Amino acid sequence: MRDRLIDENTDPARDPVVVFGRRSAFARRNGTLRTVTADALLAPVLAAVVAESGIDRSDIDDVIIGNAVGGGGNVARLAALSAGVPVSVPAQTIDRQCGSGLEAIVLACRLIAAGAGTTFLAGGVDSTSTAPLRAHRLTSLPGAPDFFDRVRFSPPWLGDPDMGAAADNVADRFGITRERQDAFALRSHRRAVRAAETGAFSSEIVPVHTDAGDVVRDQGPRNNLSAALLARFGPAFSVGGSVTAGNSCADADGAVVVLVTDRATAVARGLTGALRFVDALSLGTDPNYLGVAGGEAARTLLQRRGIAATRLKRVEFAEAFAAQVLASLDVMGVPERMVNREGGALALGHPYGASGALLVLRLLNQSRAEAMPGKLSLAALSIAGGLGTAALWEWISTRSPR
């Protein structure tokens, strides 16, 4: 089958492209960002993208932000106004749980392709430290709260396991050993530590002010982690299971924003390269094995476009649990060593609504550093309730139209 990177009967000048992005540092829940609410975490990142990219605030068509555990309302609008975006610019907050940030960027790309605008700020945010407590109203005692830890993602008759238990299910079903999970987790930390030490993250992180000072460094990566230490962790979620605290991510606080525009606008601004949106796909699978849904979505997307996994230059896959990443990579036919070259959520932590957006920011910055037009990359993740999302990208030159 011929690769279908270009959709026929479309205007190349209207190709959606990601051209710029920034993020906050990522911090463990109740860590260095524990006092910063989601809107206060997002606002400086939005402001930095606007200021550093040089766009005119009045040119922004919409602000689209993913958020999973906020208090409702519209954190995108609150943060946008706090960042100095004009009151005339709309904003919306979307929720596909930990896929929300990627979904926000994909939505911006779809809107541009449809001719509904040319300039969008998109990304995600979550503050797990300040997320509101959740409660149902008791029917037996009207008005009294019945607090709960997590929402329901699937009906009980179908199965609705906790995330960690579902990761154990995936490890058992797909034969992902404890040793392989621990090795992947260790690699994630080492890669993130190395990336930080070499300055790979410094230019993308926007300082966030707290009473203790500005937060400018990721809190999660551990340079003292070892295989021996990981081996000491016991099963965290299931008796006899292989998923441990060491090969699982930590809940985190963080925000990511990218600038999405069309090719014509990127060319007019004199940008030398951009991450062109090719296609994206979301699908559902058995909630009991939710961790493999991202791999299924990626495989289906590549098949739809007639592209072999071997064509991919780089892959970013959200690391909620090592087991589900490894199972998904096996489904996709992608070698694990080529994934998450600067570490992932196992090291950095998982600010649910922002994690999918970080995948795109990673691909953007890594592709720009290599500047190899025509190279393909993929962002994918598995989502609560048995959902998976994948997005395909191509690095292009924007010096002149195709």
- Report the Cα 313 to chain-centroid distance in Å: 19
Pick the catalytic residue from 98, 109, 189, 249. Answer: 98
DSSP 8-state symbol, 272: S
Buried b / exposed e over 160-169, threshold 16 CB at 10 Å, is bbebbbbbbb
Active site annotation includes 350? yes
Catalytic: which of 109, 189, 249, 350?
350
Cα–Cα distance, 394 to 361 (Å, whole number) = 14
Strand spans (E) along 62-207: 62-66, 91-94, 119-127, 134-137, 145-148
Distance (Å, whole) CA 286 – CA 291 = 9
Mark 337-358 as b/e (b = at least 16 C-beta within 10 Å): eebbbbbbbbbbbbbbbbbbbb
Is 109 tagged catalytic?
no
Q: Which amino acid is at 210?
A: T
Rounded Cα distance, 221 and 223, in Å: 7
The rounded distance, in Å, linking the Cα atoms of 402 and 384 is 39
What residue spans of 175-234 are helical by DSSP H?
178-197, 227-231
Composition of the chain by helix, strand, coil, percent to 5: 35, 25, 40
Q: Which residues are catalytic?
A: 98, 350
